[in-house]
Amino acid sequence: MLEVLDQIFLQPLMLIYSYAWFSDQAGPQLVIFSVLLNVALLPLYYQMEQRSKAARAIRQRVASEVARMKRHFRGRERYFYIRTVYRHYRYHPISEVLGSADLFVQIVVFVTVYRFLSGLEVLVGAPFGPIADLSRPDGLLGGVNVLPLLMTAINAASVYYYVEDRGKRLQAWLLATLFLVLLYQSAAALTLYWTLNNLFSLVRNVVQRKLAGRSLQSLLPFERLAAQR
């Protein structure tokens, strides 16, 4: 099973990465690689965002219906009515996790980029700006690795700006902290890539929210109220 997944998803991406890496100048090429990959994934991110919005709308409708059923019914009657609501909207609480294309894409990209950058010989001993060796932890601040901290700070800012639900925001921050622990001693090339990736994501979220705000302002007052719901 793992071999099939490797052949279907991982190997094609690794081939694409090899074509996107076309220079021996490791530092500048790493920046170009990050930009190219994020730009290439923009259409996919857009589709996932639309799916996420649709899923949130269904989740809100289901929650409203379930709350109404709980107010008016008890026992087995309540149970069967709630099941009917789930069937009507084709919703199951665990389906949000199992069917999360966003999470799947992030995992696939993380695994393939990690494997690709970890195997690049051109990074060994390659300096970039204040970084002495891209194949080793940066140690920029008296032995303290700055890039993982910067990567996590940008990620946390993106979550704060984009995620409104407090529970999901806390989960995202905990995940960012886990990534900090896991990647703290990683090669500077990898943490630099993810720092650039998180920065790109933050900018993308800011632009999307600005555009969404302009679209909302262009609606008539009653249309704007409906859109906010």
Sequence spans of domains, the chain: 1-123, 128-229
Distance CA 22, CA 84 (A): 56
Q: Which amino acid is at 100?
A: S
Tens-digit pLDDT profile for residues 118-174: 888 899 999 999 999 999 999 999 899 999 999 999 988 888 877 777 777 888 888
Give the global pTM: 0.74
CA-CA distances (angstroms) from residue 78 to 58, 61, 81, 90? 20, 17, 5, 18
Quick one: average pLDDT of 95-113? Answer: 68
**Given this model, what pLDDT does residue 222 score?**
38
Residue 173 to residues 162, 167, 176, 180, Cα–Cα distance (Å): 12, 10, 5, 10
Lowest mean pLDDT among 24-38, 72-86, 103-117, 205-219: 205-219
- On average, the pLDDT of the chain sits at 80
pLDDT tens-digit series, residues 160-178? 877 777 777 888 888 889 8
- 214 versus 41: the higher-pLDDT residue is 41
Consecutive H or E run containing 119:
none
Question: How many other β-carbons are positioned within 10 Å of the β-carbon of residue 194?
Answer: 25
Confidence at residue 220, expressed as pLDDT on a 0 to 100 scale: 46
